[in-house]
């Protein structure tokens, strides 16, 4: 349980200024806290979750298919996709985005990071889709 308290101290919102400890000052609990990733929630306290069967929405299916196509085209492999969707996001995005939202964000980032599209091209395409969607369903 001590390592969970240490994780809380390492998170940016709860961060307290500290110097990097010398290796001999890092005990097992502190090492576990430093090595913890945002998706590693095993053993942490939580509330019960009500299981609900849900039909996937069309954007979720489209996201899944897009990510699979990126893999088929050699843009990324399954392990890289999982790392980007679970480890690289950080706790705020990992807990704040829906499951396929993390997939979508990771797909966009990989395309920009590997220079398949520029950030400007991606932003322009998102704006184009947003405008097209607004025309279809006015508020």
Q: Which of 34, 94, 99, 100 is catalytic?
A: 99
**Region for residue 54 given its phi and psi (left: phi exceeds 0; alpha: psi -120 to 50; beta: otherwise):** beta
> Residue with structure tokens 């085209």?
73
Pull the structure tokens for residue 24. Answer: 């001999």
**CA pair distance 89, 67, nearest whole angstrom:** 17
CA distance linking residue 126 with residue 116, whole number of Å: 16
Does 100 participate in catalysis according to the annotation?
A: no
DSSP states along 3-40 = HHHHHHHHSGGG----PPPPGGG--HHHHHHHH--TT-
Q: How far is CA 110 from CA 72, 81, 82, in A?
A: 14, 9, 12
Which residues are identified as catalytic? 99
């Amino acid at each position: 349980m001590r390592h969970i308290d240490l994780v809380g101290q390492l998170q940016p919102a709860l961060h307290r200024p500290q110097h990097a400890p010398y290796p001999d000052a890092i005990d097992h609990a502190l090492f576990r806290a430093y090595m913890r990733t945002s998706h590693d929630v095993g053993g942490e306290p939580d509330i019960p979750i009500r299981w609900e069967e849900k039909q996937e929405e069309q954007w979720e299916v489209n996201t899944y298919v897009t990510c699979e196509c990126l893999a088929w085209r050699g843009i990324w492999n399954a392990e890289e996709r999982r790392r980007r969707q679970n480890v690289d996001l950080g706790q705020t995005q990992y807990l704040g985005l829906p499951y396929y939202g993390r997939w979508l964000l990771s797909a966009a980032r990989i395309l920009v990071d590997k220079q398949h599209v520029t950030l400007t091209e991606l932003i322009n395409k998102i704006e184009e889709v947003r405008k097209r969607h607004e025309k279809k369903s006015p508020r």
